[in-house]
Amino acid sequence: MKPRLLMVAYACDPRGGGEHWLGWGWAEQAAKSFQVELVTTPKAKEAITTAAKPLGIKPHFIDIPPSLRKVTELCGASWVRKIAWQRQVGKFAAERHRDRPFAAVHQTTFHTFRSPFAAASLPVPSIWGPIAGGEHVPPGFEKFLGAAQLSERARSMANRAWLRMPSIQQSLRNASALFVSNQTTLGFLPEDVQQKAQVVAPNTLRPEDQRWQPRQFTRQHGTPLSLLYVGNCVATRAMPIVFDALKVSGLNNYELKIVGAGPALSHWKKLARQQGFGSKVVFAGRVPFELVSAFYETADALVFPALRDSGGSAVLEAMARFVPVVCLDWAGPGEMLDTGCGLKIPVRSPSETVDAFAQALRRLDAQPELGPKLAVAARLHAQKHFGWDSKRALLEQTFKRLRTSEK
C-alpha cells in the first residue's frame, strides 16, 4: 500500500500558471507514489476536485473567516491572512493525523520561507519547499532599480525581521528536510538549518515546453541580432543593464523586443527614449501566454538581467524552446544554466557587469553558429534537470531517507 502523504499548497490550480500550477504539479506527481491528501484554499476548488478524482488525490479546502479576509484586504495585510490560514491548516493536519496517521507531510507553496509551515509539527517526516525569499540585489547595483531602490531596501530589512519570527523559526526547526530554490536563499537561512537543506530549482517544464522541436536558425553574418525579454516588468529585472550593455557594445544591427507589463515599464520606456534606441527597442506589452511562443520562434537570444529572482520561468521556457539565454550569474537564473548551455554574466561591479554583458552580445552577433550550439545544450539541460520525473524522484528519495533515519 502506498504511504499516506499530506501535501500543503496555498497556491494550487491545475489550470493556473506560476506557483499555482507548480503547487498542483507537486501533488499530481506525488500521487504516483503516495496516497495524497491535498490541503489548499477554495480558490480553484472546482478545477482541483475534477482533476484530483482520477488521480486518487483527496482534496481539502480551508478558508479563513470572511471578516478576517475583509480586514486584511482593506489594510493590505495579505501576510496576516496567510499566517491565519497556516494556523488553521496546522490544527486540521493534527486532527487528520490523529484519525489516521500520515507517513509524511510536504508543504510546496507559496515558494517562500515567509509563509510558515505549521503542519511540520506533526510527528512524521516533513519536507518544506522549494522555498525562496533570501535573494537580494547585490551591493552597488541599486542604481539600476530606479525609484524602487527604497522599497527594495525595505524588503531586505523586512526579510531579516521575518526570519526572526517565532513561527518561521519554529517551522525551520521542525522541518525534517528543506528544499531551497537557490544558493543565495540557502546562505540567507540560519546556519543550524542549512545542513538539512538542498538546492532544488522551483521551475519545472510544462507539457507544452517539451513538445518543441529543434529550431532552424537562419541568421547569417550581417543580419539583425534579435534579442528578447519575456516576463514581468519589475525593477529587479534590471533592463537598464541591457540598455547600457547595448550602448557599450557598439552594435547597431539589432532589435530588442520586451514582452510583458508591470510597474517598471514606464521607467524602462523613458530610459529607452533618453538613450535614443528608437525602433531598435520594441515594447510589445502584455501578451497572452499562447501567443508568446511566436516571439521565442524568432529570437536569437533571451536576455534576462534579473538582480533578484528565485528562478525565472522565462529562462526555462527559452531553454525548452531552443533559445539561448544571456543572464546574470546571480541567484536563481544563474543557477539554472551551466556554462555550456548559456552565457552567464559575472556580477562584480556594475561597470564590469555591463561590459561583460556587452561582450556576450558582441559574441552572439559575431558568431551566428554560437547561438544554435548553446540552444541545443540548453534544451538537453532543461530536460535532464527540470522535468517532473526528477522532482518526483527527489521527493521519493527524500522520504525514503527520512524514514530510514527514523529507525
What is d(CA 247, CA 201) in angstroms, rounded to the nearest whole number?
33
DSSP string, 41-81: -GGGHHHHHHHHGGGT-EEEE----HHHHHHHHHHT-HHHH
Maximum distance among all Cα pairs of the chain, rounded to whole angstroms: 71
Query: Region 85-107: what's the mean pLDDT?
Result: 96
pLDDT over 90 at 254, yes or no? yes
pLDDT over 70 at 402, yes or no? yes
Query: Region 70-78: what's the mean pLDDT?
Result: 67
Output the pLDDT for position 222.
Answer: 74
Output the pLDDT for position 77.
Answer: 62
Q: Confidence band (pLDDT; 50, 70, 90) for 104?
A: very high
SS (H, E, C) 211-233: HCCCCCCCCCCCCCEEEEEECCC
Residue 3 has what DSSP assignment?
P
What is d(CA 60, CA 43) in angstroms, rounded to the nearest whole number?
12
Chain Cα centroid distance, residue 277: 31
pLDDT-above-90 percentage for the chain: 76
Q: pTM value?
A: 0.90
The cell for 333 is: 537564473
Q: Return the residue matching grid coordinates 546556519.
A: 191
Nearest 5°: CA angle at 319, between 311 and 329? 45
Chain mean pLDDT for the chain: 92
Q: Do domains 4-132+165-200+387-406 and 209-385 have the same CATH topology?
A: yes
Domain layout of the chain by residue ranges: 4-132+165-200+387-406, 209-385
Superfamily per CATH, domain 209-385: Glycogen Phosphorylase B; (3.40.50.2000)
Q: How many CB atoms lie within 10 A of CB 366?
A: 11
pLDDT over 70 at 76, yes or no? no
- 120: which strand partners? none
Output the pLDDT for position 85.
Answer: 92
Output the pLDDT for position 289.
Answer: 81
Identity of the residue numbered 164:
R
Q: Which CATH class is domain 4-132+165-200+387-406?
A: alpha beta
pLDDT over 70 at 407, yes or no? no
311-362: pLDDT as tens digits: 888 999 999 999 999 999 998 898 898 888 899 999 999 999 999 999 999 9
Output the pLDDT for position 82.
Answer: 83
17-54: pLDDT as tens digits: 889 999 999 999 999 999 999 999 999 999 999 999 99
pLDDT over 80 at 96, yes or no? yes
Query: Region 65-90: what's the mean pLDDT?
Result: 78
Query: Region 271-293: what's the mean pLDDT?
Result: 93
